[in-house]
Structure 1
Amino acid sequence: MKKVGKIRKAVNYYNKYGFRYLVDISVEKIFKLEEKKYKKFYKRSLLTEDEKKNQSEHIFRYMPKFSIVVPLYKTPDRFLIGMLESVCQQTYQNWELCLSDGSGKDSPLKGTLKKYAKKEARIKVVSNEHQLNISENTNKAIELCTGNYIVFMDHDDLLAPNALYECVKVLNKKPEIKIIYTDEDKVSMNGKKHFQPHFKPDFNKDLLNSTNYFCHMLVVDKKIVNQAGKFRSEFDGAQDYDFILRCTEITEDIYHIPKILYHWRMHEGSTAEKPESKMYAFEAGANAIRDHYRRIGLKNVKVKQTKYLGVYRTRFVIYDKPMVSIIIPNKDHIDDLKKCLHSIKDSNYSDYEIIIVENNSIQNETFEFYKSIEDIRIRVVYWEGEFNYSAINNFGVGYAKGDYLLFLNNDTEVINKNFIEELAGFCMRSDVGAVGARLYYGDNTIQHAGVVVGLGGIAGHVFLNTPRDQTGYFARIITQQNYSAVTAACVMVKRRIFEDVGGFDEKFKVAFNDVDLCLRIQEKGYLIVYNPYAELYHYESKTRGKEDTLDKIRRLDEESVLFKRRWGKILKQGDPYFNMNFSLNRVDCKIR
């Protein structure tokens, strides 16, 4: 039966996405290419004995003390010893290990803990007469801490030997940093196999509001811990998530180390392997997000679990609906435009106007169509210059009445009726400047799920051509989050901010104008949000055609040079919302 199921699935993929995609996923599964690539990557990251020696002898200008907090509960002896040894083998020496044994008075851990505490003075243990829940247990361990920074660790996991050393390096370069998190992977029960690396972005506020991507390893300044307060039992199962959210409300001096410095033990019953085994934890996670929104003053917010356990969806309920001006450039192709307009008309958001910017149409039917649709909600304005996407949209804004601008390609078709509300809900937040949508090609593969600067050379769409039913790397396709840019094929921008940054730069006539706009909005301190729950089809630049003439190629080269000159720093340093360990030649978050 399993074979029949696999055959049916293969046939389904062939019918949906074609032979090439079927071959790609089959080759990956059969030969386990990515698993083998990570195995090589991990081996390259291991320290040599000389490197360990050099790190252990290195004297930093600033030598903070780390308090490693570990709540214990009937930990299997081999896992307990593995955890203890990984701490004792740290190349940076100024640490203390603060252990709280919540197993109760007949704890099976007493012998091993006594042995290690005796031979290593930096190990502190508090034993508890009664069994403790995870929050109580963690708080007991925190009470032992005397360090400058607290490191949070689970009782059966492992630290890389250079975990603390890498943190000290950061703190010496950036002493203002209050929170550090790192990349991580999974480790087998015998500790020999490393797999499923989680390469994370730099601080991503809306991603954190959607999933606890910080997870491990987490390091927090003791002063921030004191301000944030203790772990709370009412969030057990997601007590660390609740704690992290509270910490980020105090400081945004947060640093991500793009190295695998933590190894999460994967075994039966662990949420690392079977997330459904702890459903209560995921409901606690939703409650933690709701409480976070309440504390920061965001009202009328609904949070629910998605089909991918551990990933949550936020919906901002809008009662006072602002006017949204939808700006659609158009040249002929009235069949596309009709489809676009009809899909907008079916939306459940009523406070909008549509401004069609006519640019150089030549077909009589086009102008006849314009006459038939103009009314109190739809108007057509006429651009008489050459094709310049930026100038055309800026021209359309001049006729807009709304406080929110929705730039929309004429070859798009709305899928979900609440798409305007999905975009506006995020865009109305004071810290957000622009919001983009999830777009599909006509064959139901991803056309847009966020833009990464540097991808493909200048900027590219991550997860391009991924089948619609796939969730992508760590469910990023279906996760609300921040990106450096989103496509202007469908993007909502606050009008005030759009005008403040000077609108689209008309030097970018066709290419990179949306990326440039988003980066300038970010420079002003606003976030760019990708909301996958605003969904549309995008039939992709049918109006303009391909970049296949000498003039178009020359223009693209000129705009590429301008972009590189203006945004050379981010191209050199790497997009903060894309991990540096990912290849810039692939759109699917694969290792370099």
Structure 2
Amino acid sequence: LLQQTFMVQDHIAQIARNYQSWQRCQSGDQRTSSILTDENFDEVSYLRQYPDVRAAIERGEFLSGREHFELRGRDEIASGARLHISNLLFRNRADPEHIDPEQARQEIAGWSQQPLISIITPVYNVEPRWLEAAIESVQQQLYPRWELCIADDGSTRPETTALLRQIIDPRIKIKLLDANQGIAGASNAALALTTGDYVAFLDHDDELTPDALYHVVKAINAHDPDLIYSDEDKLSLEGYYLEPHFKPDYSPDLILSTNYICHLGVYRKTLLDKAAAGGSYLREGFEGSQDHDLVLRTLDHTDRVHHIPRVLYHWRMIRGSTAACYDSKNHAWEAGQRAVSDTLKRRGIAGETLLGQYPGTYRVKRTIQGQPLISVLIPFHDQPDLLRLCLDSILEKTTYPHFEVLGISNNSVEPETQALMAHYTAGDQRIRFLRHDIPFNYAAINNFAATHATGEHLLLLNNDMTVITPDWLEALLEHSQRPEVGAVGAKLYYPDDTVQHGGVIIGIGGIAGHAHKHFAAHNPGYFARLHLIQNLSAVTAACLMVKKSLYQTINGMDDKHLAVAFNDVDFCLRLREKGYLNVFTPYCELYHHESRTRGHEDTPQKKQRFIEEIAYMQKRHAAILLNGDPYYNANLPLDRDDFGML
């Protein structure tokens, strides 16, 4: 139960990091230490991170932050009772002193575009201290050209409206509504006050980082986007920054699966006008997910989306809010389902929207168009028992009837293997076997098989796989049939029901690695990504579907440079270079008995071949290795595959 709670996961992860940092300190390694010591103690940072300590000093309980640290704080941090988040851990969680204001002003003065940013904030019965903090976070912006447009939604709490009436700042516009109109109505009232070129959304109890608009306008000058979004974190009532959400770049499939864009979202005003189309910017009937509905409607009109991989927004964890409890608003979950369903209708996508496996997530289940034939390509070298398990699971569990299986024997010699091939050939006309007796070259074997396939779609499948979900082919085909999609990959498990493949992240381990390896089957992963249909740079060819025509267009797999390793990664990256989206779906599940056929890189020849394949990948895909995987995040680690969760 605890492991399913992001906040607890964050706490456990921090305890683990503190312990690891303590170990590094003991060994004399200070390079990445996040532990707080007498030597690196900083009074200002300590009091900023621990408001309760600052309050205790004001009550006279301690003389200073250092005294608290020496008497209590050191032991509390070491035990995990007090979270200590080092600036080194989340280096872009910027404080004002990290950017020189004078230098920022000089940089801003040189920008060709200095747009007015309108920040809208609907207000209703919020505690004055949180509203005041939200307003102050705007007033402290390094970028000066902003206006704050506030609409009070008929607050019945007198101290809320009293605070608004006390504000004297020409940059702040306030409208007090006579009657409550709901979040959509109040947001629209605030939007009516705007005169800016771009519109940013700030909830009445949240905060912007001081450099938020600085980075937004910097991105506008560099990329001229229609929609900008940033990373975000949660802000506890005690002042702790928790659960940093380091997001991927724009993913058309992920935004249908969950509103990962969320905060901070900044829209070109003309884009909002197009989305409104003469109606309301925020629509009634989508309360709780009105922001998801809005971003989906704006994405009907643009793909000029820019992601800033920095935490620029603090989402306060008020009791009963979505920030405090992921499933605290079931009505919001259902409203999001309506928003996604409406998007499918607007875009002419045949299918249905189902509630996802985790609150706030959805599954877009697309309708299969026609009954295209799927060619399942299975290379193998003997090991008949393994092949039998694979074929039996396909024949016994598969619900999609229109498929053929091509088994490609690579230097198989065992009599049991020959008997097995004869048995399946005689027993099912959908199964046939080919021989391709060359030195093992996974790419070449699949290229050979593709020339003999008669299906419209190819499914590359290892012989050490067994099917879990009966509709596995449908789950892959619903995406492979899409004209904009290249490769489609599945969620794979080890036999012990831990994750073997949750997609491929470029850069992990030097070239590429599988995401979320060894996570429990039920674990949602980093912000539920193990449960979500999403775009990724690559997926494994252990189970990969692609249109045959597309496979041929890019000349299949590279059997010259990548005989064994990384040929699937290279294949997917070349699809991306042609403008296609690669898709990971968790709704196609199989067991993978990894490398039981080929074995490991344990001979001098294999090691040399592997070194050469690495060198080729470093040269061929230098750009993405240098710039980073767009579906990962520069703030996440590359020396591990768990998104830094533990």
1:144 aligns with 2:197: no
SS in 2 for 1:465: coil
Mapped partners of 2:448, 2:389: distance in 1: 24
Distance in 1 between the 2:141 and 2:574 partners? 42
Q: Could you say which residue in structure 2 is the equivalent of 1:304?
A: 354
1:329 aligns with 2:379: yes
Give the counterpart of 1:288 among 325, 339, 344.
339
| TM-score with structure 2 setting the length | 0.85
Please, which moves more after superposition, 310-319 or 419-428? 310-319
Paired residues, what number? 569
Name the counterpart of 1:568: 622
**Shift, 1:41, TM fit:** 3.4
Kindly provide the CA deviation profile for residues 103-145 of structure 1, in whole angstroms up to 9, marking residues without a partner as x.
25886433222222x2x10101111111111001101111111
Identity of aligned residues (%): 41
Structure-2 separation of matches of 1:78 and 1:239: 25
Partner of 2:212: 163
Of residues 193, 196, 221 in structure 1, which corresponds to 2:243?
A: 196
Name the CA distance, whole Å, in 1 between partners of 2:540 and 2:600: 18
Mapped contact 1:485–1:519 kept (Cα < 8 A): yes
Out of 402, 409, 420, the position equivalent to 2:462 is: 409
Query: What secondary structure sits across from 2:353 in the alignment?
Result: strand
**Counterpart in 1 of 2:25?**
none
Change in CA separation of 1:444 and 1:386 when aligned onto 2, cut-off 3 Å = same
1:505-544 alignment runs, 5 A limit: 505-507=558-560, 508-544=562-598
Given the alignment, which residue of 321, 324, 327 partners 1:273? Answer: 324
Unaligned runs of 5+ in 2: 4-12, 21-76
Letter in 2 for 1:559: E
What is the correspondence of 1:54-93 to structure 2 with a 5 Å cutoff? 54-58=103-107, 59=109, 60-93=111-144
In 2, distance between residues paired with 1:458 and 1:408?
Answer: 22
Question: Does 2:188 correspond to 1:132?
Answer: no
Q: Which residue of 2 aligns with 1:456?
A: 509
Q: 1:239 aligns with which of 287, 290, 299?
A: 290
**Matched-pair contact (CA < 8 Å) for 1:582–1:591:** no
In the TM superposition, residue 275 of structure 1 has moved relative to its aligned partner by: 3.3
Q: Distance in 2 between matches of 1:480 and 1:307?
A: 11
In the alignment, what sits opposite 1:14? none
- Aligned counterparts of 1:206 and 1:290: Cα–Cα separation in 2: 14
TM-score normalised by the chain length of structure 1: 0.92
Q: Secondary structure at the residue paired with 1:456?
A: helix
Q: 1:180 aligns with which of 210, 228, 238?
A: 228
Correspondence 1:341 to 2:391 = yes
- Residues 71 and 99 of structure 1 are in contact (CA less than 8 Å); yes or no, is this contact kept in structure 2? yes
Contact 1:105 1:129 in 2 (8 A): no
Asked if 2 retains the 8 angstrom alpha-carbon contact of 1:454 and 1:574, the reply is yes
The answer on whether the counterparts of 2:231 and 2:312 sit within 8 Å (CA) in structure 1 is yes
**Amino acid of the residue matched to residue 185 of structure 2?**
E
Match of 2:407 among 356, 368, 374: 356
Kept in 2, the 8 Å contact 1:39–1:194? The answer is: no
Change (3 A) 1:143 1:432: same
Shift of 1:45: 2.9
What secondary structure, in the 3-state scheme, does the structure 2 residue paired with 1:476 have? helix
Describe the shift of the 1:545–1:49 C-alpha distance in structure 2 as closer, same or farther (beyond 3 A). closer
Q: CA deviation at 1:40?
A: 4.9
Counterpart selection for 1:555 from 606, 609, 616: 609
Mapped to 2, the partners of 1:50 and 1:512 lie a distance apart of 41
Contact 1:327 1:406 in 2 (8 A): yes
Q: Distance in 1 between matches of 2:171 and 2:581?
A: 43
Cα distance in 2, alignment partners of residues 110 and 446 from structure 1: 52
CA contact (8 A) 2:125 2:157 kept: no
Aligned partner of residue 558 in structure 1, secondary structure:
helix
Query: Which amino acid letter does the alignment assign opposite residue 214 of structure 1?
Result: I
The alpha-carbon deviation at position 324 of structure 1 amounts to 0.3
For residue 437 of structure 2, the aligned residue among 369, 372, 384 is 384
Distance in structure 2 (CA, Å) of the matches to 1:410 and 1:224: 49
Measured after TM superposition, the shift of residue 47 of structure 1 is 2.7
Distance 2:219 2:162 in 1: 37
Question: Is residue 365 of structure 1 aligned with residue 416 of structure 2?
Answer: yes
1:223 is matched by which residue type in structure 2? Answer: T
Aligned pairs for 1:16-55 (under 5 A) are 36-37=84-85, 40-42=88-90, 45-48=94-97, 51-55=100-104
What one-letter code is carried by the residue in structure 1 that aligns with 2:400? Y
Aligned to 2:538: 485
Q: Structure 1 residue 49: deviation in Å?
A: 7.4
Q: Are the structure 2 counterparts of residues 379 and 37 from structure 1 closer, same or farther at C-alpha, using a change threshold of 3 Å?
A: farther
**What one-letter code is carried by the residue in structure 2 that aligns with 1:171?**
I
Match of 1:587 in 2: 641
Contact 2:327 2:360 in 1 (8 A): no
**Aligned 8 A contact 2:400 2:471 in 1:** yes
Hey, what's the Cα distance between the residues in 1 that align with 2:334 and 2:588?
24
> Matched residues in 1 for 2:215 and 2:374: separation?
48
> Cα RMSD (Å) of the superposition?
2.3
Deviations 1:280-300 (A, max 9, x none): 11000011111111111111x
Write the distance in 2 (CA, Å) between the matches of 1:105 and 1:140: 18
How far residue 540 of structure 1 moved from its aligned partner, in angstroms, is 0.6
Report how far residue 478 of structure 1 moved.
1.2
Task: Render the CA deviation track for 1:238-266: whole Å, top value 9, x for unaligned.
Answer: 01000000111111110000111000010
Measured after TM superposition, the shift of residue 25 of structure 1 is 12
Q: Is the 8 A contact 1:583 1:591 kept in 2?
A: no
Structure 1 residues 35 and 386, CA, compared in 2 at 3 Å: closer, same or farther?
Answer: farther
Q: Secondary structure at the match of 1:87?
A: helix
Aligned-residue offset at 1:306? 2.4
- For residues 464-520 of structure 1, give each alpha carbon's deviation from its aligned partner in whole angstroms, at most 9, with x where no partner exists: 111212111111111111110000000100111111111111121000000000011
**Alignment partner of 2:609: what SS?**
helix
